[in-house]
Structure 1
């Protein structure tokens, strides 16, 4: 039986300091550390790293 908190909703904040955010889900079993994704920052106008904030 799957636990409800296996795939929690996490907020990703831009490392460019623009305040842009994305919201996604992650699997805690596969990614126990903080998630880091390279995504498009519409404020900066380019792709930057987005880190999971807690």
Structure 2
């Protein structure tokens, strides 16, 4: 029997300012495009844009 593709996917969010990375999950049905979130970057010590990377 074939495996069903998991709805929840583990993703990496990388900072646009430094190389800091957050690991999180997203629902593929609700968020088909790449995720972009404002999160705190401890290296830069400020809130910056984080983008989903492969």
Same fold, TM-score > 0.5, yes or no: yes
CA distance in 2, matches of 1:14, 1:7: 22
Q: Which runs of 4+ in 1 moved over 4 A?
A: none
The answer as to 2:3 corresponding to 1:10 is: no
> Aligned pairs, how many?
51
Uncovered stretches (5+) of structure 2, i.e. residues with no partner: none
CA distance in 2, matches of 1:29, 1:6: 7
For 2:51, the equivalent position in structure 1 comes to 51
Higher-Rg structure is 2
Q: Secondary structure at the match of 1:38?
A: strand
Uncovered stretches (5+) of structure 1, i.e. residues with no partner: none
Instruction: Note the aligned Cα RMSD (angstroms).
Output: 1.0
Higher strand share: 2
Give the alignment's TM-score, normalised by structure 2.
0.88
